Chain A
Amino acid sequence: MPRLNLYQEEFHPSPWQQTWLAFKASHIALAGLMVLASISLLALLAPVIAPHSPLLQNPDVLLLPPVWDPSGSLTYLLGTDALGRDIFSRLLYAARTTLITSVIVVVVAMLIGVTIGAIAGMLRGVSSSVVNHLLDSLMAIPTLLIAIVIVAIMGSGLVNSMWAITLALIPQFVHYTRNYVGEEMKKDYIRASQLDGSTKRQLFFYSILPNMLEMLVVQGTLALSIAVLDISALGFLNLGAHPPSVELGALLASSIDIAYLAPWNVMLPGLCIFFLVLSINIVGDGLRSAIRKRVKN
């Protein structure tokens, strides 16, 4: 769609640019992107920003309320926990752990899932039937259950829970890729390049993958929000990260005992998870409707 500009020559936005323009038109989606960007920035720069070490205990100020409370103090912006550790710094480090592990988990799951899905989608006959049935039954087992079993075999810990969630996220990518590849394989442009003698590998990488890349990004954001929720849920159930490393769900679980005395200890990590997931979901939604708008035009 050429856009007329009085001062310059005609401008033909590429598909990615068109998506970005449609995405930008939605203010909510843009706000979500900004929130997500600022949370990620805060989390990634945690070692630079954090005013205290997340593990440093100060026995003089236990359970200090946040700064907006009359008895709060500016040294500890969001107060302290039962051991006198600065909650703000702990939150930053915890968000960092949760975010980085979730991104790694999603990327690994996407790579494996798309590979299996592409192979399954190009299979024909009995082998396809067997593979697809097996994958369908795998889809049905809940994430948490797979995670529990893996943790039971290998012991609890952040890395093991990451493996568990990777395994649990793979099926949805497989499912999506398999359906998409299966649909595309029937279309004429695939037949054309088949007639040109392209192998299955070339078909996938040069013809199908560029078409599905965008929706794959959308799927990735959905998976990211699930990954954040699952990693913090495992942390909350004491199956994920162990004490020296801070993680949002584990942070929340460790302060349940003092939930009545110092509710901000429970509410702040929860709010942090919530805003992280909310902004990811809003960005994902915005991206999806932007792509829908572009395809419609």
Chain B
Amino acid sequence: MMISFFRYGTLFVLTLFSLVSLSFLLAHLFPGDLLTNLSGVAPKDEKERQLLATLWAVDQSVFFRFFRYCSLIFSGEWGVSISSGLPLYDEIRRTLPATIELSFYSAVVAVVIGVPIGCLAGLKSYTKLDYTINAVAIVNYSLPVFWLGLAFILVFSLQLNWLPLSGRISLLFDIPTVTGFILIDILLSNSLNKGEAIANAIAHLAMPVLAVSLISGAALVRLLRRSVIDILDKPYIASARSRGLSSSRIFFDHVLRNALLPILPLLAIQITTLMTNAIIVETLFSWPGIGDWLLQAIYQGDYTAIRMGMLVVAALIVSLTIFVDILNRLVDPRKRMPTNATT
């Protein structure tokens, strides 16, 4: 067990290291002045240039520059955005929680919808119910997320006027930013009408979360259905049945746990799709998250923002993936034996 934790630790450190080197390389690949690409400031006079050049070690050798780059990144000195001039650390600190919040709720909704329906389809396999669920799932799975979001906007906010069009919360509520997660912030604030504020925030969340979670939920339904059908074919289910166990006992003790196991590693891949969809949906609903921010950075040619935004999102997703891998190893006793990457 300790060995495999050590392996994952080295994997994590190596991956982070390669991501940091990649972002360092990007600063050299982007068009424009190297110093501006690293710091985000276009120096006005020779004195300022000199100051920045010593900080980012631009005139030193590549190795020393890379070393300085790493130490600056780990101390939170990420430079400033080229277009807005604000420190990138604060910008990302502001936008990242919004994205995490959106993705987290979408993941929760997708699991809550996907797992029971997937199990149901697997248990009733090759019946009318199963075919209906499968058909709905494959339709949902094939929907382009940006189009689904647009259709939601057209129907729910423009035609029916039920849900707000964009943003995270109505401007009438004055919620101080503490954690950056809107629902937690509302609970922490001493505003008079917390209930209304939460209802308003949830109304803002509903459409983007639904758009993302419908697609991920459909993928989950398909994976789980297949897995349940495979497990039901196994001899140990037949033996459990022959021993006269009740069907609910068979399902919860023998089927569900074994069916969820092969899904865990696939979930790691689903996380990246979910984040990608969240980034696209953000631009549609003007959700002030990191995806929206990154796209604005691209349109404006803000290279420091692109570089750091990419690094942070990639690091986040890599850590999540490795976390799911470790979880998978903890849950699955067959995988607790120390193995190496070759097998």
Contact = CB atoms under 8 A, between A and B. Distances in A.
B342 interface: yes
A277 B142 CA distance: 5
Interface in B129-149: 138-139, 141-147
Given A149-B26, A256-B150, A142 B342 contact: no
A237 B314 contact: no
A144 B269 CA distance: 14
A2 to B, nearest CB: 27
Contacts of B232: none
B34 interface: no
Contacts of A273: 144, 147
B11 A148 contact: no
Contact of B150 (A143, A153, A239, A270): A270
A259 interface: yes
Given A133-B14, A137-B18, A277-B142, A149 B310 contact: yes
- Most B C-beta atoms less than 10 A away, residue of A136, A145, A239, A278: A145
B298 A132 contact: no
Contact of A142 (B146, B275, B295, B343): B275
Contacts of A142: 272-273, 275-276, 279, 313, 317
Interface in A129-158: 129, 132-134, 136-137, 139-145, 148-149, 151-153, 156
A102 interface: no
A148 B142 contact: no
A273 B158 CA distance: 23
Contacts of B343: 182
A233 interface: yes
Given A128-B341, A145-B310, A237-B295, A274 B142 contact: yes
A211 to B, nearest CB: 20
A221 interface: no
A281 B142 contact: yes
Interface in A214-251: 225, 229, 232-233, 236-239, 249
A252 B26 CA distance: 32
Contacts of A133: 11, 14-15, 341
A125 B341 CA distance: 9
A263 B273 CA distance: 28
B283 interface: yes
B318 A140 contact: yes
A194 to B, nearest CB: 18
A125 B146 contact: no
Contacts of A184: none
Contacts of B146: 233, 236, 249, 252
B127 interface: no
B28 to A, nearest CB: 11
A273 B143 CA distance: 8
Given A132-B341, A233-B146, A153 B30 contact: yes
A92 interface: no
B184 interface: no
A63 B274 CA distance: 36
Contact of B306 (A152, A225, A281): A152
Contacts of A236: 144, 146, 280
B318 A137 contact: yes
Interface string A116-136: 000000011100110011101
A139 B142 contact: no
B317 A140 contact: yes
A137 B280 contact: no
Contacts of A249: 144, 146
A142 B280 CA distance: 12
Contacts of A123: 342
22 contacts: A133-B11, A133-B15, A136-B11, A142-B313, A144-B276, A145-B279, A145-B314, A148-B295, A149-B310, A233-B144, A233-B146, A236-B144, A236-B146, A249-B144, A260-B158, A266-B150, A274-B142, A274-B143, A277-B142, A278-B139, A281-B141, A282-B138
Given A132-B341, A252-B150, 17 more contacts: A125-B342, A129-B342, A137-B318, A140-B321, A142-B275, A144-B276, A149-B306, A153-B26, A156-B298, A225-B142, A238-B299, A249-B146, A252-B147, A263-B154, A270-B147, A270-B150, A285-B138
Interface of A: 123-125, 128-129, 132-134, 136-137, 139-145, 148-149, 151-153, 156, 182, 225, 229, 232-233, 236-239, 249, 252, 256, 259-260, 263, 266-267, 270, 273-274, 277-278, 280-282, 285
